[in-house]
Amino acid sequence: MFEVLVYVYENYWRPDACPDARQLSRKLSAVGFESDEIQDALTWLDGLSSAAESYAGTQSAVGMRVYVAAETEHLGEGSIGFISFLESAGVLRPDMREIAIDRAMAIPGSPLALEDLKIIVLMVFWSLGEEPDALILDELFVDAEDRLIH
């Protein structure tokens, strides 16, 4: 499913540029994605759209997020740490954090892989029509072991 999401992000820079679900399904199938992956991704994207509508702009800019046991277990320490890092860097607003957590909780299996969470965060930016700055894109796309330190 995550390969489909990355494909959607790379080919449709904004949600309004993305075709409707039926047409997108056909395009993804023509590219070679399997129908199960496509259906999972489309269902997940529908949930992303709903979450973006319900959370966007509703959260206070100050406050502390307390994770319930189910979230802690599902997300895992690495993902929670990454979310905290993005928040403390001023990149992830509280409403975006809540959308990311909502969509992460919709992914089966736990703990959630950090690489999968990064794609989820990227899709949250995409769903709101926002582009993360270059340093955050680097953090979301480039593996730590592939980074060159100057």
The pLDDT tens digits for 59-94 are 666 678 899 999 999 999 999 999 999 998 888 989
CA 38 to chain centre: 16
Residue 148 confidence (pLDDT): 46
What is the pTM assigned to this prediction?
Answer: 0.86
DSSP 130-147: ----HHHHHHHHS-GGGP
Residue 147 has pLDDT above 60, yes or no: no
9, 17 contact by CB (below 8 A)? no
> Is residue 9 exposed (0-12), middle (13-18) or buried (19+ Cβ within 10 Å)?
middle
Decide: helix, strand or coil at residue 113: coil
- Name the domain count of the chain: 1
- Mean per-residue pLDDT, 124-148: 71
User: Under 8 Å CB-to-CB from 116, ≥6 apart: which residues?
Assistant: 2, 104, 107
- Which of 10-14, 53-57, 116-120 shows the lowest per-residue confidence on average (mean pLDDT)? 53-57
CB atoms inside a 10 Å sphere around CB 43 = 13
- Give residue 111's domain range: 2-146
The pLDDT tens digits for 35-57 are 999 999 999 999 999 998 887 66
- Mean per-residue pLDDT, 114-133: 90
